[in-house]
């Protein structure tokens, strides 16, 4: 089918969907990570006139075909005070300042039963949060055909408009202009990416020890024919926590432009790190990806199969350790969990649901054909660093 015919068929649907999603009273939600425990936050209930929808869950009962959410359980995060100086916390603070950070009441209550009622609290544990905003339906559709601006977040700030009708008209005009540009050029628009490590990591002895380990493992795996790609993934689990950071590096140690964010969050297994059938532990050290060929059996039916490259992680293929989609700040059963489409018989899904496209982009790009090294820098590997 030609692009012209595709446009004729879907344009009325897109106009209806854009009117819903980019009007002043409707917002989409997608998970973006979690606010660290011991952070102090202030919250307020979302406005009663606001409506929210989940672009990751389909529905047959709404005009847009997406599931709407009960705003009685939702709160906007107004401010975050935290000793954590990482780029992720800075991103969350910026979203809060921009009125684009949503939290679920049940998650607030799990951390502090009075947090919602008092309008703020100091968190006793990490809580998942969600980015809210207008949803880019046209680019979402174009991405289905490999034509959209990828990689790119589809949830954007909602500018103040006089009426929902005006907001819809403005959004449609803007998106049609972008779509026409894209169709005319017929090429991907990839945003620029800074490939230098930030100063705090350049001067972090532990992080650099892990990166040296990873680069040595990569060179060996490449020489042995175990991996093929010149980009490797480095999971910094050095703190031992449920969540680590997944970095993408070129073979020369510079940050790789793979998706729109580097690093991203990655979950470990609830058993910690190590090996053993039934241990629910995530493997240490160097592993390699197999080609993406779903589906598979078990409760996780969609994921990247992994093979161990070290003596201490040879069992991971046999015990079904995968890289798969997972909700932020939820431990897996020994696998590596990254935000993306989840097929888990509802295991691990949060109340709000919805997944950013990180893993989906990786499955279609870097990880599609296999042969990529992943290095898990865990407390066991930290113990091998000197000093």
| pLDDT for residue 19 | 52
Q: CB under 8 Å to 328, separation ≥6 — which residues?
A: 31, 32, 33, 34, 128, 243, 265, 267, 339, 350
CA–CA distance, 57 with 360 (Å, rounded to integer)? 15
Q: CB under 8 Å to 252, separation ≥6 — which residues?
A: none
| pLDDT for residue 377 | 98
> Strand, coil or helix: what is 266?
strand
CA–CA distance, 387 with 374 (Å, rounded to integer)? 25
Helices 3-21 & 137-144 angle (0-180, nearest 10):
150
| pLDDT for residue 84 | 81
| pLDDT tens-digit series, residues 223-278 | 999 999 999 999 999 988 888 899 999 999 999 999 878 888 898 988 999 999 88
Query: Checking DSSP bridges between strand 336-338 and strand 26-35, what pairing results, if any?
Result: unpaired
Cis peptide bond N-terminal to 81, omega within 30:
no
CA–CA distance, 39 with 89 (Å, rounded to integer)? 10
Q: How many CB atoms lie within 10 A of CB 191?
A: 10
CA–CA distance, 138 with 181 (Å, rounded to integer)? 13
Could you give all domains of the chain from N- to C-terminal order, each with its CATH number? 3-185 (no CATH), 199-382 (2.40.440.10)
| pLDDT for residue 261 | 83
Please report, in tens digits, the pLDDT of each residue of the chain (387 residues total): 444 454 444 445 555 555 555 554 678 887 777 888 899 999 999 988 888 887 766 677 766 567 788 888 899 999 999 988 776 788 788 889 988 999 989 889 988 999 999 999 999 988 888 888 877 666 666 655 555 554 445 566 665 444 444 444 554 555 555 555 555 544 333 333 456 787 778 889 999 999 999 999 999 999 999 999 999 999 999 988 888 899 999 999 999 999 878 888 898 988 999 999 888 899 999 999 999 987 676 667 788 999 999 999 999 999 889 999 887 667 888 999 988 776 654 444 455 655 566 888 899 899 999 999 999 999 999 999 986
Q: Which of 235, 207, 190, 197 lies closest to 338, judged by CA?
A: 235
CA–CA distance, 235 with 332 (Å, rounded to integer)? 15
| pLDDT for residue 306 | 96
Residue 126 has φ and ψ, to the nearest 5°, of: -65, 140
| pLDDT for residue 143 | 57
DSSP string, 182-235: HHHHTS--PPP---SPPHHHHT-HHHHHHHHHHHHHHHHHHHTTS---SEEEEE
């Amino acid at each position: 089918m030609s692009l012209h015919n595709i446009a004729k068929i879907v344009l009325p649907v897109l106009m209806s969907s854009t009117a819903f999603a980019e009007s002043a009273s409707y917002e989409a939600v997608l998970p973006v990570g979690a606010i660290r425990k011991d952070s102090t936050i202030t919250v307020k209930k979302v406005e009663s006139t606001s409506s929210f929808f989940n672009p990751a869950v389909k529905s047959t009962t709404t005009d847009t075909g997406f599931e709407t959410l009960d705003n009685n359980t939702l709160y906007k995060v107004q401010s975050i005070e935290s000793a954590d100086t990482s780029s992720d916390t800075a991103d969350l603070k910026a979203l809060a300042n921009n009125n684009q950070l949503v939290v679920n009441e049940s998650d607030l209550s799990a951390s502090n039963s009075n947090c919602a009622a008092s309008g703020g609290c100091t968190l006793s544990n990490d809580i998942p949060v969600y980015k809210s905003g207008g949803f880019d339906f046209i680019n979402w559709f174009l991405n289905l055909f490999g034509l959209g601006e990828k990689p790119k977040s589809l949830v954007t700030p909602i500018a103040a408009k006089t009426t929902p009708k005006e907001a819809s008209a403005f959004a449609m005009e803007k998106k049609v202009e972008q779509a026409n540009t894209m169709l005319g050029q017929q090429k991907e628009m990839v945003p620029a990416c800074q490939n230098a490590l930030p100063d705090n990591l350049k001067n972090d002895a532990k992080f650099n020890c892990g990166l040296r380990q990873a680069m040595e493992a990569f060179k060996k795996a490449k020489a042995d024919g175990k991996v093929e790609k010149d980009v490797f993934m480095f999971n910094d689990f050095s703190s031992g926590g449920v969540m680590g950071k997944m970095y993408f590096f070129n073979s020369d140690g510079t940050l790789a432009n793979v998706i729109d964010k580097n690093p991203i969050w990655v979950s470990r297994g609830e058993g910690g790190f190590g090996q053993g059938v039934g241990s629910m532990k995530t493997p240490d050290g160097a592993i390699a990806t197999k080609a993406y060929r779903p589906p598979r059996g078990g409760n996780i039916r969609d994921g990247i199969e992994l093979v161990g490259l070290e003596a201490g992680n040879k069992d991971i293929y046999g015990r079904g350790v995968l890289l798969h989609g997972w909700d932020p700040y939820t431990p897996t059963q020994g696998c590596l969990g990254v935000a993306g489409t989840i097929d888990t018989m509802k295991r691990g899904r949060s109340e709000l649901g919805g997944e950013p496209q990180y893993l989906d982009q990786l499955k279609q790009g870097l990880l599609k054909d296999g042969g990529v090294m992943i290095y898990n820098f865990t407390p066991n590997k930290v113990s091998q660093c000197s000093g």
